[in-house]
Amino acid sequence: MKAIAFFNVENLFDTDNDPYTNDDDFLPTSEKRWTDKRYHNKLFKLGLAISSIGKEETLSHPAIIGLAEVENDTVLQDLLASEHLKELPYDFVHFNSADERGIDVALIYDTTVFTLTNAEPFSVNLYNEDGTADYTRDILLVSGLFDDEPIHFIVNHWPSKHDPENKPKRLIVSQKVTEIIQLLKADKPNAKIITMGDFNDASDSVSVQDLVNSNHLFNPMETLKSLDRGSVNYKDGWDLFDQFMITHNFLDRKVGTYNYVKGDIFDADFLKQYKGFYAGQPFRTYAGKKYKGGYSDHFPVYLILRKVAG
């Protein structure tokens, strides 16, 4: 069995000033005091979390990890060089986007399981109510051979839920993902596709439902959210914005292909705030400008796939 994961890692910035991105909050001299020590503590913790996802089911590290909120190649190189990942055969795919905050999506893959054949970013043209451009994260398409089986991965980080203006923008991004899926299916109608990401919308939202219904996808995360469980917590309420949507051929039992087994939230106790009013919620790196020293404000989510034996 293999694990496929997605993790919004909460503002993984390095400590260097990049004049082309809005990284001023994440500098040693900023109010947040984003020091080298804090940066490497976060890398250590993220590496521990990533290496543990799905291990209970697979007895191994995840084969694929989609990421959101990474600044650049440097932070990905440093992450893969961190204590818990440095011995693992990982490589990554990343493209810089025009996002105003300077954060992107990326994909980490186990080179002994996945052979990369193509990777490309897709930008989305969004506009504010006053007509100005709203630069957001690109959508990342990564294609390759997953244990010799062709599989496509689409990594997303849709516009924030906190701004009411973003609701129609998420629908536009959803429609862009549909375009990508239709391109893949035009080339191969039975293409196996895993769409993952922080969609900043619940599974019953218009944007997510439009994506699922337009492309006949299966969303295994629909049944996971409850009053006391989710991937992100806001004002003491749980949401499951981090999701997977997969083509229905992952439900076939064709010999020699990978099938869907389960989807879950990786909310192990070590990822949780362990005391106080926020006990049980994601142990985040910052709460506003206050340093907490945790992992992320999101729990990872994951799928388990099993290869059908003959």
Kindly report, residue by residue over 117-149, the tens digit of the pLDDT: 999 999 999 988 888 988 999 999 999 999 999
Cα separation, 266 vs 306, in Å, equals 18
Domain count across the chain: 1
The answer to whether the beta carbons of residues 158 and 200 sit under 8 Å apart is yes
CA distance between the termini of the chain: 15
Identify the CATH number of the domain in which residue 247 sits: 3.60.10.10
Take residue 79 and report the two structure tokens written for it. 């992450």
The domain in which residue 163 lies consists of 2-307
Round the CA-based radius of gyration of the chain to a whole number and report it. 18
From first to last of its 310 residues, the chain has per-residue pLDDT tens of: 999 999 999 999 999 998 878 889 999 999 999 999 999 999 999 999 999 999 999 999 999 999 999 999 999 999 999 999 999 999 999 999 999 889 999 999 999 999 999 999 999 999 888 889 889 999 999 999 999 999 999 999 999 987 888 899 999 999 999 999 999 999 999 999 999 999 999 999 999 999 999 999 999 999 888 888 999 998 889 999 999 999 999 999 899 999 999 999 999 999 999 988 889 999 999 999 999 999 999 999 999 999 998 7
Cα separation, 178 vs 156, in Å, equals 12
